[in-house]
Amino acid sequence: MRTALRPWSGVPRALRWLLAASLLLQLGWQLARQAEPPQARPLPAPPPAAVARLASLGEPLAMSKAMLLYLQAFEDQPGVSLAWRELDYDRLAAWLETAQALDPRSQYALVATSAVYAGVADPRRARIMLAFVAASFAADPARRWPAMAQAVLAAKHQLRDLPLALTYARQLRLLATGPRVPPWVREMEAFILEDMDQLDSARLVIGGLIQSGQITDPHELAFLARRLDELAGQISAKKAHSTH
């Protein structure tokens, strides 16, 4: 049975005015939204790792990649291009930490941190990223030493903070002791000490590396032996200069 449609003329006038006013309000709201300049959304806090793991439905690696892709796409919002330096870096570090917890064997989060986000032209934000790299490295030095070596270089050249670079380089020497870690990684501390004019300390570090047996390549050992001789000459010259 078909219901007969009520003619528009039969609708009460008050209801017709109410419908017209509602349509006008809806149209005005849409026009106002279009006229407003687009606003950048702040980076939200990440879900806890346990919640993200549960939401992954047994695919934590896929969830980790999805979180990192979300971060990469976050700077390009509708009508807005958000610069990295405008992100909340404390929350950014929390997202990276959660993504890494879901896929601890992947280097993706650390590469994004050391090669992209740590390059921001803001020392405070860069330090947050380097601190994340250092904490991640300490949890798995055998696999994560490349990001830590990059952190040493960023602290030295980008932040021009030699004490921080020295701290990171020392952690590399002490923790990155696996057979796949190249010798130059453990030698970074000595080079930073030379840059700080701490020649005696650099000499002790190089001598310790030679005696430890961690470096077995003959060419690398010969290079370190030459560096010891050069440092000895520099130290003698420095002492002779100070006596005059």
Domains and CATH numbers, the chain: 48-235 (1.25.40)
Q: 1: pLDDT confidence band, cut at 50, 70 and 90? A: very low
Q: Mean per-residue pLDDT for 46-53?
A: 88
Average pLDDT of the residues in 46-73: 87
Position 79 confidence tier, pLDDT thresholds 50, 70, 90: very low
Alpha carbons within 13 angstroms on the beta-carbon side of residue 106 total 19
d(CA 175, CA 187): 13
User: Where does the pLDDT of residue 206 fall: very low under 50, low under 70, confident under 90, or very high at 90 and above?
Assistant: confident
- Three-state DSSP at 139 gives helix
Query: What confidence tens digit (pLDDT) does each residue in 143-188 have?
Result: 999 999 999 999 999 999 999 999 999 999 999 988 889 989 999 9
Residue pointed to by tokens 């509602």 = 22
**What pLDDT score was predicted for residue 52?**
87
User: Which of the 8 DSSP states describes residue 45?
Assistant: P
Contact indicator for 181, 173 with CB cutoff of 8 Å: no
Give the DSSP H/E element, type plus range, for residue 80.
strand 80-81
Query: What confidence tier does 80 reach under pLDDT thresholds 50, 70, 90?
Result: very low
* pLDDT (0 to 100) of residue 101: 94
Q: What is the pLDDT of residues 15-35, one digit of tens each?
A: 556 666 666 566 665 655 555
Q: What are phi and psi of 174, to 5 degrees?
A: -80, -30
Whole-prediction pTM: 0.74
Q: Mean pLDDT over residues 198-213, rounded?
A: 85
Residue 219 has pLDDT above 90, yes or no: no
Radius of gyration of the chain (CA): 30
> How many other β-carbons are positioned within 10 Å of the β-carbon of residue 215?
19
Q: Where are the alpha helices (DSSP H) in the chain?
A: 13-35, 49-55, 60-74, 89-102, 108-115, 123-139, 141-153, 162-175, 183-195, 199-212, 218-242
At a CB cut-off of 8 Å and minimum separation 6, what does 174 contact?
Answer: none
Q: Is the pLDDT assigned to residue 217 strictly greater than 70?
A: yes
**Amino acid identity at 222:** A
